[in-house]
Amino acid sequence: MLLEGKIAIITGAASERGIGRATARTFAEHGARVVILDLDEAASAAAAASLGTEHLGLAANVANEAQVKNAVAKVLEQYGRIDILINNAGITQPLKTLDIQRQDYDKVLDVSLRGTLLMSQAVIPAMRQQKSGSIVCLSSVSAQRGGGIFGGPHYSAAKAGVLGLAKAMARELGPDNVRVNSITPGLIQTDITGGLMHDERRHAIIEGIPLGRLGEAKDVANAALFLASDLSGYLTGTTLDVNGGMLIH
């Protein structure tokens, strides 16, 4: 098992059909003890319980510094270490440039970008102390291609910011043997995207994907497993595309 004995925090992982939950299941199957962090405490606890008794579910808004610090303190109190952080929490809004209001901008940027920073800041001291750790940041193909799917320009900006933040942290934390990498999923079938696509749009999108299908949450979870494990021990500051060829550089 690739993550035997590892402690992994995954944000935004309570949703049954989301990328975070698929990643939690995959990590648990590979021996990790998983901490699911989401807004709703009951949902987080239920999601963790579905993985087994050794896992933990906690409530926290990743954009709230006090809540983030409190949750990470609870993880350290229970497990004594943190080996992996998956910055998965994020929200999207299908708005055009001139329709984006201040509250829309703040909502999307706070969760995706500020949340990634605050969660990383909270776990870095423990990872530095143990001289090991892997942080994986979920960005999006929208950051690379300039939107054009569901999220508005502020979503693309937030996810592009995640890429820059991850690269900068990778450069800074390398001497501490803390690796930071990013994943840029393409169009993945989740609860968020499921209700946004009509059949004709679905077929049009699939025609532009060389592998001929939409992605599944498990596809992203497997990429996260690779980046979290020692298989990627000499990788930091990288961006791993999981898009079926939708965007080929």
Q: Is 155 a catalytic residue?
A: yes
Nearest to 15 by CA among 32, 51, 39: 39
Q: Are 140 and 185 in contact (CB under 8 A)?
A: yes
pLDDT grade for 194, boundaries at 50, 70 and 90? low
Residue 193 has pLDDT above 70, yes or no: no
Nearest to 24 by CA among 35, 3, 231: 35
pLDDT at 8: 99
Read off the pLDDT of residues 106-165 as tens digits, 9 standing for 90 and up: 999 999 999 999 999 999 999 999 999 999 999 999 999 998 778 999 999 999 999 999
The SS3 of residue 193 is helix
Read off the pLDDT of residues 197-222 as tens digits, 9 standing for 90 and up: 566 777 888 998 999 999 999 999 99
pLDDT at 140: 97
pLDDT at 111: 98
Spot the catalytic one: 79, 105, 155, 234. Answer: 155
pLDDT grade for 192, boundaries at 50, 70 and 90? low
Each domain of the chain, given as residue ranges in start order, spans 5-240
Residue 191 has pLDDT above 80, yes or no: no
pLDDT at 129: 98
- Using only C-alpha atoms, what is the Rg of the chain? 17
The per-residue pLDDT of the chain, averaged, comes to 95
Architecture field, domain 5-240: 3-Layer(aba) Sandwich (3.40)
**Greatest CA separation found in the chain?**
52
**CA distance linking residue 217 with residue 17, whole number of Å:** 7
Q: Which residue has the higher pLDDT, 124 or 196?
A: 124
What is the pairing mode between strands 7-11 and 84-87?
parallel
pLDDT at 195: 55
Q: Are 182 and 238 in contact (CB under 8 A)?
A: yes
pLDDT at 201: 72
